[in-house]
Amino acid sequence: MILSMSGVVLLGIIVFIFFRKDGLKGSHAVICALFGFYLASTAIAPSIKAGGASLAGLLGGIKI
């Protein structure tokens, strides 16, 4: 749950930056959000979740 919440926050920040700096329109942000909600209910959602968890584990294991 914490990983998905931080992912949502990160994606929200990215969308906000696009909105402010790159001219992302409000309608584009709404479409992106709706796409995410619909994508979460498809059969590919578990694969996306597993890929995200794998990427988070990979990034979490990097020692600087």
The pLDDT tens digits of the residues spanning 4-49 come to: 667 667 777 777 787 788 787 887 887 788 778 877 877 888 888 8
Is residue 1 scored above 50 in pLDDT? Answer: no
Shortest CA distance to 18 belongs to which of 39, 42, 26?
Answer: 26
CA 55, 60, 64 angle in degrees (round to 5)?
125
pTM here is: 0.55
Amino acid, res. 14: I
Structure confidence at residue 37 (pLDDT): 80
Residue 2: pLDDT band by 50, 70, 90 thresholds?
Answer: low
CA 8, 28, 56 angle in degrees (round to 5)?
25
